[in-house]
Chain A
Amino acid sequence: MTAATITSPPANPAILPARGGILSSLSDLFWRRPKFLLLLMLLPPLLWLGIVYLGALLALLLQSFFSIDEFSGMINREFTLKTYSELLLPSNIDIILRTVTMAALVTVASAVIAFPIAYYAARYARGKWKALFYLGVMLPLWSSYLVKVYAWKLILAKEGILGWLLEKLHLTWLLDAWLSLPIVGGNSLSVSFTGTFIVFVYVWLPFMILPIQAALERVPVSLTEASGDLGASPGQTFRHVVFPLALPGIVAGSIFTFSLTLGDYIIPQIIGTSRLFIGQAVYAHQGTAGNIPLAAAFTVVPIVIMGFYLWAAKRMGAFDAL
């Protein structure tokens, strides 16, 4: 092998001729006008999301300013704030407060249960165990929502596994005592707020674990070592170093748990009492009642709440942990 084979032969132009053909000239055009290519790439997704999604959202918002004629049941397409004033009826305020309270409780409980899992996965799990933890969270996250709800119907039913377990442990009295409490109690767990709460926590838990784990992974181990080195007890290290650094992850996770609870109407319908949540109210108003304006106004409530929530979360830097 000599260098000669690679040296330029005599007829070796510095600029190669265009290859011709539509694809080739298109390719040249994209190189000359990169902005044109960018536009071409963005156009389909933007048209889709802009028309299908934002368009639908705007249509919905528009309808919340319509009202329904009480006699004919027809939608009156005139701008009015009447529908919004209906939101302020005590029964509707009740629904909103109930839903927000539930969302807050679910969020706190998820964070408490999620933290040890995320902490262990981020700090101690290695190699195979790390993969196992990851899949152990991903599989329940992605497995069927309805199947998960259904599984809890099996568990919480009077004759189900939980009742059986408590009976074997001679703890049935405890369950009965809990169920006899006002508000949280009921005929059985599957028709009580307690049941609704448990299922909400179960279904949204993985959404809390992953962001916390992501935030914790970013805390270098040397930070906790430095803290210990400076004389902090493990408890102090946790309070002053680990927890503040994990907080953006918790806030990021809470965006999911909060938002998902606010909008859900299936869990309280299958496991819960007859008292409504926002989602159920929306569903009922748009469905059988045909009151789309009120349903639309109701959906504005979670949008506004989430708007504030996202704004606050952004200020806390939670988006980096998503």
Chain B
Amino acid sequence: MTPAVSFTKVSRHFGTVRAVDAVDLEIQPGEFFAMLGPSGSGKTTCLRLIAGFEQPTAGHIRIFGEEAQGVPPYRRNVNTVFQDYALFPHLNVLDNVAYGLMVRGIGRAERHKAAEEALALVRLPGFGARKPSQLSGGQRQRVALARALINRPKVLLLDEPLGALDLKLRESMQEELKILQTSLGITFVFVTHDQGEALSMADRVAVFNEGRIMQVGTPQDIYQKPRSRFVADFVGSSNVLPPDFVQRYAGQRRWGSLRPESIRVARQAAGEGVQARVVALNYLGSATRLSLDAGGLRLHATVPAGAALPEPGEHVALTFNREQLHLMEEGA
């Protein structure tokens, strides 16, 4: 199958800064793909390269097999939902949504009808006459979505689209986006720095750091089998274990990672397992997170609600299943 988007050794340099550095990437048609990374990691630049707002310094980008080199944004059948929504302030909601059809020379009546339908799709029917300034953040977000979908893009790009929303709205929008994507079957490429968002929404995730892709995989892969310390650190709250420690339990000198929920905490100081001292407790609602000091190594463990909790300063013994200790790649 032809990938929806493919990068072949794509670089984008700004002066001496390598915003994107020799990236290879394939995004499959119909996929919900997330680009995850800290700010400045190159994920947004990758998105802008697909949209055509930036041009690669080197390498090739293909969209459904077609070379994108030298093709301006307005000739790419790819649309974007901007981080700040970028709604046209001088147009009302209906004309904002109909803009893509207007510049393609579609007649007024036809494009307004299509815009009404698109507004209904994002559950904002009858909002057409309002100005963007009269909408709430969540409503603007939906208008931006409707506007980007009206051209029936082959790929929809979303640049931190939920970043400006409050937590509750964000969760309901995550769900809606996912449902919308499934029903439309359009390839979604989604940029975020929020690992929870990436893991919960995406079919596959690419983790970016310093202009390079550190790992691509399903959320389960990324979460459970981080290939490098960076991924383990950035995605979730894994305990990163140094080679010395790993050698003692797995017999190999490699970096390892262990999820906090994989660690069992026993309240007897002289018991089996790793000896540690409780530094602090954080109550999270569904669980309690312990900060532990195991002979200089800082570890985290979560204890489900209802279980007996140790006191800060108390000495405990930590145990875990060998198979839950994930070994990272050599040299990672």
Contacts and interface: CB of A to CB of B under 8 A. Distances in A.
Judge A-B direct contact (beta carbons within 8 Å).
Answer: yes
Interface of A: 1, 3, 5-9, 12-18, 27-28, 31-32
Contact of B121 (A6, A14, A15, A27): A6
B180 A8 contact: no
B313 interface: no
A7 B152 contact: yes
A31 B152 contact: no
B212 interface: no
16 contacts: A6-B117, A6-B150, A7-B185, A8-B153, A8-B154, A12-B77, A14-B154, A15-B66, A15-B76, A15-B77, A16-B76, A16-B77, A27-B72, A28-B72, A31-B52, A32-B70
A13 B184 contact: no
Contacts of B118: 6
A28 B64 CA distance: 21
Contacts of B71: 15
B149 interface: yes
B75 A16 contact: yes
Nearest to A14: B64
A262 B12 CA distance: 53
B183 A3 contact: yes
Interface of B: 52, 55, 63-68, 70-78, 114, 117-118, 120-121, 149-150, 152-155, 180, 183-186
A27 B71 CA distance: 11
Contacts of B155: 14
- Grouping DSSP codes into helix (H, G, I), strand (E, B) and loop, the B interface class, with mixed when no group exceeds half, is mixed
B63 A14 contact: yes
A7 to B, nearest CB: 6
Nearest to A32: B70
A12 B186 CA distance: 12
A320 B75 CA distance: 42
B180 A3 contact: yes
Contact of B154 (A1, A12, A28, A31): A12
Contacts of B117: 1, 5-6
Contacts of A15: 63, 66-68, 71, 75-77
Given A12-B77, A14-B65, A15-B67, 4 more contacts: A1-B117, A5-B117, A6-B152, A28-B70
Contact of A7 (B73, B77, B184): B184
Nearest to B149: A6
Nearest to A5: B117
B8 to A, nearest CB: 16
Contacts of A1: 117, 120-121
A5 B183 CA distance: 11
Contacts of A5: 114, 117
B150 to A, nearest CB: 7
Nearest to A1: B120
A13 B121 contact: no
Nearest to B70: A32
A194 to B, nearest CB: 53
A8 B186 contact: yes
A15 B61 CA distance: 12
Contact of B75 (A3, A6, A8, A18): A18
B272 to A, nearest CB: 56
A12 to B, nearest CB: 6
A7 B117 CA distance: 12
Contact of A8 (B65, B66, B76, B152): B152
B6 to A, nearest CB: 11
Contact of B72 (A6, A7, A9, A32): A32
A16 B186 CA distance: 17
Contacts of A14: 63-66, 76-78, 154-155
A6 B79 CA distance: 13
B315 to A, nearest CB: 48
A156 to B, nearest CB: 51
Given A14-B154, A15-B77, A27-B72, A7 B64 contact: no
Contacts of A6: 117-118, 121, 149-150, 152, 184
A7 B78 CA distance: 13
A21 to B, nearest CB: 13
Residue picked from A7, A8, A16, A18, most chain B C-beta under 10 Å = A8
Nearest to A34: B55
Contacts of A28: 70, 72
A9 B66 contact: no
A67 B180 CA distance: 82
A273 to B, nearest CB: 57
Contacts of B114: 5
